[in-house]
Amino acid sequence: MSEQQTLEPLLEARDLAKHFPLKGRDRGRVVRAVDGVSLTLHAGETLGLVGESGCGKSTVGRALLRLIEPTSGQILLDGTDITGLPMAAFREHRRRLQIVFQDPFSSLNPRHRVEKILTAPFIVHNTVPRRQRRDKVVELLQRVGLGADHLRKFPHEFSGGQRQRIGIARALALNPSIIVCDEAVSALDVSVQAQIINLLSALQRELRVAFLFISHDLAVVEHISHRVAVMYLGQIVELAERRQIFADPRHPYTEALLAAVPVANPQRPRNRIRVVAGEVPSPINPPSGCRFHTRCPLADRQCQTQAPPLRQDTDGRFLACHKR
């Protein structure tokens, strides 16, 4: 276990769940988007959250920030339970929890100039006096690699990478402790992705901000993360240090994810045995027992009937599998 993990977590989720009720003919049924997720995030750490599309990654991020209200479970910020706080009381904690969205264009108001976009957090939370706001906005722009000459421009006048830098600047405006990066580089060109990843890493070293980095790009996650959590159908199946996940995956689903990543070197041996087949079951009616058993090459009767708990091994890894 790393020294960082021995410290009290900055953010902790305990058995977090988010279910969306259906309407019409399916009234009375729910989509179990997140169904019992527990994780921790420490100051200055990046926790990567990976899994197939629809596994609940983005819902976890939004629920942790209470952009959507959890169905059940607890969210603790510095040991304080913020799950059921009224919005008036939660307002002070809101400053510490920010998000960078996937699409840098749709997340910025196209009718507002950059100066107004970046001034809004100061106005809403009344943190910066009026006469100091312009200087503070320029400071934010410079911190993300832009300048004062961009103040009067609209979002459509920027490239995708520049727009994402503005989104990051907005997230930094209130000096947050935690930023959720929800597929923050997936809409960008590869060269621009590298620039944004390097920017995030530099900001983390400077400000000691923690990132929950949600992505389906395993190469990016391996580069930026300290620990990695693997989700499948609303639940975490493996959580470990980055090197443990990528060098020695234990859960069959983690093995399948890594085996599916294209390799540029055709001479490099590949283990195709673990590549999983079939489709992800519906979160409306998830399988009994282990949710991965319908696609797992190791599954037996126990896997079909008993849900494996997320237990911690002696090496600090968390794993939910009967066979490992």
Q: What are phi and psi of 33, to 5 degrees?
A: -65, -45
| Domain interval for residue 280 | 4-96+176-186+206-261+269-319
Residue 216 lies in a domain: yes
Give a yes or no: residue 169 inside a domain: no
Q: What is the mean pLDDT of the chain?
A: 91
Q: What is the pLDDT of residues 105-117, one digit of tens each?
A: 888 999 999 999 9
**Whether residue 248 has pLDDT greater than 90:** yes
CA atoms within 13 A on the CB side of 38: 9
171 domain residue, yes or no: no
In a domain, 148, yes or no: no
* Residue 314, both tokens: 């002696």
pTM of the model: 0.92
The pLDDT of residue 2 is above 60? no
At 37, which CATH number? Answer: 3.40.50.300
Distances, alpha carbon 140 to alpha carbons 104, 168, 211, 234, 253, in Å: 17, 9, 18, 36, 41
pLDDT digits (tens, 9 = 90+) for 205-234: 999 999 999 999 999 999 999 999 999 999
Backbone angles phi, psi at 184, to 5 degrees: -70, -15
Residues 77-94: tens digit of each pLDDT: 999 999 989 998 998 899
- H or E element at residue 169: helix 160-172
Residue 131 belongs to some domain of the structure = no
| 231 secondary structure, DSSP code | E
Name the domain count of the chain. Answer: 1
Q: What is the DSSP letter of 75?
A: E
- Do the beta carbons of residue 148 and residue 175 sit within 8 Å? no
128 is a domain residue: no
- 38 within domain boundaries: yes
- The whole-number average pLDDT for the span 288-314 is 93
pLDDT in tens, 19-59: 999 998 888 899 999 999 999 999 999 999 999 888 999 99
Q: Among 6-10, 141-145, 167-171, which stretch is predicted with the lowest mean pLDDT?
A: 6-10
User: Is the residue at 107 inside a domain?
Assistant: no
